[in-house]
Chain A
Amino acid sequence: MVQTTITVTVDGTSYTDQVEPRMLLVQYLRETLGKTGTLIGCDTSNCGACTVHLDGVSVKSCTMFAVQADGHEVTTIEGIAGADGLHPMQTAFHENHALQCGFCTPGMIMASIDLLRENPNPDEQMIRDGLEGNLCRCTGYQNIVKAVRSAAETEAAKVELGATIPVGQPS
């Protein structure tokens, strides 16, 4: 099988690899790079377990080929924590008991971060609609919605206080 060379920055580290053109981005992350924090839950792009950020925007990494990530920056669940610990969305999920088995969680957190990037102050329905592409079988979503809402409020409070705590991916 022909191989293509790609260079991708994943969680802040640049990697150059030979990949088969048909290799999915999620397979590249898991199998080639060992980034097993990103998970696979379906084969029809419905579940969202594989959600990562491509240049800061959330994508389902099972819907892309690895070669399409060539020259781009990918952030996974393993790369969002700042130097001082957890990303605020990770903290919000923990504090609101927004996960049970945890299988949807990496994708759910990545999608939620992107949701707040697009709309920093979503109401309940906007959060529900915004997470439509991510399935969870355990939580009934109630605490996930609460977590996203609380992350939004925490960020808003910080802005009000004029604090400059960095949010989002490490640059």
Chain B
Amino acid sequence: MTITEIGASRLRKEDQRLITGRTRYTDNMVLPGMLHIALVRSPFAHARITAINVDEAKRAPGVIMVLTGKDVADEQGGIPSAWPVTPDQKAPPYLPIAVEHVAYAGEIVACVIGRTAAAARDALELIDVDYDDLPPVLDLEEAMTDTVLSHPDLGTNLSATWIFDSAAAGTGTDVAQALASSEVVIERTYYQQRLIPAFMEPRSTVVDPTGEQLTMWSATQVPHILKLMISLALSIPESKVRVVAPDVGGGFGGKLAVTAEEFITLLAARRTGKPCKYTETRTESLMGAHHGRAQVQRIRLSATKEGIVTGLDVNLLADMGAYLGVITSGIPILGAFMYNGIYKFPAYRFECNNLFTNKAPTGAYRGAGRPEATFAIERAMDDLAAELDMDPVELRRKNWIKHEEFPFTTVAGLEYDSGNYEAATDKALKEFGYDELRAEQKLRRQSGDRVQLGIGVSTYTEMCGLAPSRVLGSLDYAAGGWEHAQVRVLPTGAIEVVTGISPHGQGHETSFSQIVADRLGVPFDNVEVLHGDTQVAQRGLDTYGSRSLVVGGMAVVAAADKVIEKAKTVAAHLLEASRDDIEFTAGAFGVKGTDQSMTLGEIAFAVFSAHNMPDGFEPSLDSDATFDPVNFNFPHGTHLCAMEVDTETGAVTLRKYVCVDDIGNVINPLLVDGQIHGGLVQGISQALFEEAVYDESGTLVTGSFVDYLVPSAADLPMFTTDRTVTPALTNTLGVKGVGEAGTIASTPAIVNGVLDAVRHLGVDDILMPCTPSRVWNALRDAAQGGGRHRSPDPSSTKPDLDPAGGN
């Protein structure tokens, strides 16, 4: 072994099949006699279904069966919510196929099963649905008033109100008092626009009902959760369901779901007795797969004149959309613990109102609650710095937890184990050239340059590695947060690692191989990582919340350590030595003080043949482990960007982006950089490009990639990514999560940068995405009226068609 696996930029094992087209995405699957599904979706945001006529569709060539909600009413169950955030949480039934009432445009009302996908799709037009239009609720502030109801039967739009108060929790003082007695209070409302995860692989599901088990292949992040939910919701014995997530083309939280389409494909397969496939079109994906963010954030931040924050009050309106998916209701609550960011605030109160609207359901999207929280506090810190005429980095320095103060229990009640905000920030400032850019900014302001320069600052921390099961329990989530692994030593010495996580682009086949190669001292190429099939990986809780390495990886370590312990017993026996004298190094078990030793492979074969085992030894080295973290881990970092704003056109250019992240020890720097790059772009894209826009009747205007602006290579620059290393103390690898970091930090950094460029011109707020037309309008309004620019509620905004903007 010449290579140190931990920290090596190993090229990915996954790549070979992906670069040669030998892939197994769900839609690639073909099974004998397979039938195809197409779905009728409601064009209305809110309506009663008065009649459905499917006769003509049933007679169409190539159509095998047509199913309406009524046809399957007794067997379709409902999409479960696994997160009753309060005991009295309200939720309408979430039926896979609507029966009488539709609550968002895109909701499924009928299913056609055809011999070919084309035949099924052709028949959609032959289905006649009569709707009685109902007024839709599209705006969160209006939803809160209950004047129009998204679900009349529910009697209210309010699903739940969830409150955290540091005074009540004993983690801090009273916020009302802090606000009342402080020298400076800033009050802001920020809008988190609706986003669409927009994974590149449309969702697809194949169900094979032949044989003893139902087998479902699905483009999902969560095969284990899906299997359990299918069993519970459809009353199928858990042992009769197998779920496979084959190659999955991205998720970002968008495939952390239990979907109507999966249930329908299963029902269709059961009804027809044939394998059935459903693959959504991009249009269906954009309107029907869950959306993310969508919150109104009312923030009050109080401080002394010197800039020491004294209190933070957060009041949220969170858009659930029309229904609660499996974790919809918990997303804003995940943010509750992060509004205090990296700071030492003495008083904090958080209140969240979860509201139903007649839009697509929301759910996890990269960061899930934490980007929203970070955005609000980092925007507010900049606004406070502006109010106090203080450098924004200086203000943060005055308030953050100093590295010698760890472990630190925050006002939100979390214990941050480690961190070094000074080191990350100093490194970032230096690499960015902060002082030079501030000097350039000053010059441009003085000269009244048409192109103004803004410097965007954001720090962040996040709670990663979902999650300590006890904590999830205290938040009323139905499941735990452990992860499972098995390490098997085959007779040839090859190693199979089975993990309950379910990667879909992250590269765990590579990074977990590195961990095991390091631990067992075997070649990287001798390790195979198996995952994503509930029959192969029997136990698991899948991939989301930056948990795979920090929870799943730790389970792998624990299982590998058990293998070593077992092998030591065998080695002692075969080498006729005392077990205490067996030393394990670099893949070999040696007897202390002798040159006698056996490799793991030799021991594995001896165990396989089992001819000569110690008395009572069970002839197997294979080991299982389940790891339940004791705490979250808390990556952090400082992100800086230079934004140029053309004050005549409103055009915004990202000139430079530098981030220094601290994710503890790094297994594979190549993979880590890739996660940061991709995360950055999703966050930047929220700041500058993306928004799911509905018109006043509740139709999704951004229903295709023509209108929903996923950025291309041409829209982006190169990023400078760097690291500091402060190992996590809550796991023995010293690792922290990295999947969401880039997204969390970059959105506020960019918006702060845009505002910093134009704040001196009287603009102190611009809605996201900060399109040229919005920037231009803000500048014009400020020039005309002066004073603070308040943008309209985003739910009433139209796509930007302003020629001055030219998005």
Residue numbers of A with Cβ under 8 A of B are 20, 22, 30, 34-44, 46-47, 49, 76-78, 81, 86, 90, 93-95, 97, 99-106, 109, 124, 127-129, 131-145
Separation in Å of the B703 CB from the closest CB of chain A? Answer: 10
Residue of B17, B25, B247, B678 contacting most chain A CB atoms (<10 Å): B678
Show 20 residue pairs from A and B whose CB-CB distance is below 8 angstroms, ordered by the A residue. Answer: A34-B30, A35-B21, A39-B201, A40-B27, A40-B202, A41-B202, A76-B21, A86-B19, A90-B19, A100-B507, A101-B248, A101-B250, A102-B14, A102-B15, A102-B249, A129-B713, A132-B714, A135-B712, A138-B674, A141-B716
Question: Who on chain A is nearest to B680 by CB?
Answer: A140
> CA A81 – CA B19 in complex, angstroms?
10
Tell me whether B678 and A137 are in contact (CB under 8 A): yes
Separation in Å of the B20 CB from the closest CB of chain A? Answer: 7
User: Quick check: is B46 within 8 A (CB to CB) of the other chain?
Assistant: no
User: Quick check: is B719 within 8 A (CB to CB) of the other chain?
Assistant: yes
Residue of B21, B250, B506, B714 contacting most chain A CB atoms (<10 Å): B21
Tell me whether A143 and B674 are in contact (CB under 8 A): yes
Top 9 nearest A-B pairs (CB, nearest first) are A37-B21, A102-B18, A103-B249, A101-B505, A140-B677, A46-B705, A100-B505, A140-B681, A36-B28
Separation in Å of the B247 CB from the closest CB of chain A? Answer: 7
Tell me whether A38 and B21 are in contact (CB under 8 A): yes
> CA A44 – CA B680 in complex, angstroms?
26
Q: Which listed residue, B11, B20, B680, B716, touches A90 by the CB 8 Å rule?
A: B20
Tell me whether A129 and B281 are in contact (CB under 8 A): no
> CA A25 – CA B11 in complex, angstroms?
34
User: Quick check: is B337 within 8 A (CB to CB) of the other chain?
Assistant: no
Task: List chain B residues, Cβ under 8 A from A99.
Answer: 15, 18-19
Task: List chain B residues, Cβ under 8 A from A105.
Answer: 18-19
Task: List chain A residues, Cβ under 8 A from B714.
Answer: 128-129, 131-132
Question: Who on chain A is nearest to B280 by CB?
Answer: A43
Tell me whether A104 and B200 are in contact (CB under 8 A): yes
User: Quick check: is B718 within 8 A (CB to CB) of the other chain?
Assistant: yes
Question: Who on chain A is nearest to B712 by CB?
Answer: A132
Q: Which listed residue, B16, B17, B281, B710, touches A137 by the CB 8 Å rule?
A: B710
B670-692: CB near A (< 8 Å → 1, else 0) gives 11011001111110000000000
> CA A22 – CA B118 in complex, angstroms?
10
Using known A-B contacts A100-B507, A102-B14, determine if residue A41 contacts B712 with beta carbons closer than 8 Å: no
Tell me whether B201 and A97 are in contact (CB under 8 A): no
> CA A140 – CA B710 in complex, angstroms?
11
> CA A47 – CA B281 in complex, angstroms?
13
B712-732: CB near A (< 8 Å → 1, else 0) gives 111010110000000000000
Q: Which listed residue, B21, B506, B705, touches A47 by the CB 8 Å rule?
A: B705
Using known A-B contacts A81-B20, A97-B670, A145-B713, determine if residue A103 contacts B705 with beta carbons closer than 8 Å: no
Task: List chain A residues, Cβ under 8 A from B15.
Answer: 93-94, 99, 102
> CA A102 – CA B712 in complex, angstroms?
16
Tell me whether B19 and A137 are in contact (CB under 8 A): no
Question: Who on chain A is nearest to B198 by CB?
Answer: A137
Q: Which listed residue, B19, B30, B250, B706, touches A100 by the CB 8 Å rule?
A: B250
Using known A-B contacts A133-B712, A137-B678, A143-B674, determine if residue A106 contacts B200 with beta carbons closer than 8 Å: no
Using known A-B contacts A102-B18, A138-B200, A142-B677, determine if residue A39 contacts B716 with beta carbons closer than 8 Å: no
Question: Who on chain A is nearest to B21 by CB?
Answer: A37
Task: List chain A residues, Cβ under 8 A from B231.
Answer: none
Within 8 A of A (CB), among B493-518: 504-507
Task: List chain A residues, Cβ under 8 A from B704.
Answer: 42-44, 46
Separation in Å of the A57 CB from the closest CB of chain B? Answer: 19
Within 8 A of A (CB), among B271-321: 281-283
> CA A149 – CA B567 in complex, angstroms?
48
Task: List chain B residues, Cβ under 8 A from A102.
Answer: 14-15, 17-19, 23, 247, 249, 505
User: Quick check: is B199 within 8 A (CB to CB) of the other chain?
Assistant: yes
Question: Who on chain A is nearest to B16 by CB?
Answer: A94
Using known A-B contacts A36-B23, A38-B21, A95-B11, determine if residue A135 contacts B202 with beta carbons closer than 8 Å: no
> CA A50 – CA B678 in complex, angstroms?
21
User: Quick check: is B12 within 8 A (CB to CB) of the other chain?
Assistant: yes
User: Quick check: is B252 within 8 A (CB to CB) of the other chain?
Assistant: yes
User: Quick check: is B22 within 8 A (CB to CB) of the other chain?
Assistant: yes
Tell me whether A94 and B19 are in contact (CB under 8 A): yes
Tell me whether B706 and A46 are in contact (CB under 8 A): yes
Tell me whether A100 and B678 are in contact (CB under 8 A): yes
Tell me whether A103 and B200 are in contact (CB under 8 A): yes
Tell me whether B19 and A109 are in contact (CB under 8 A): yes
Within 8 A of A (CB), among B162-176: none
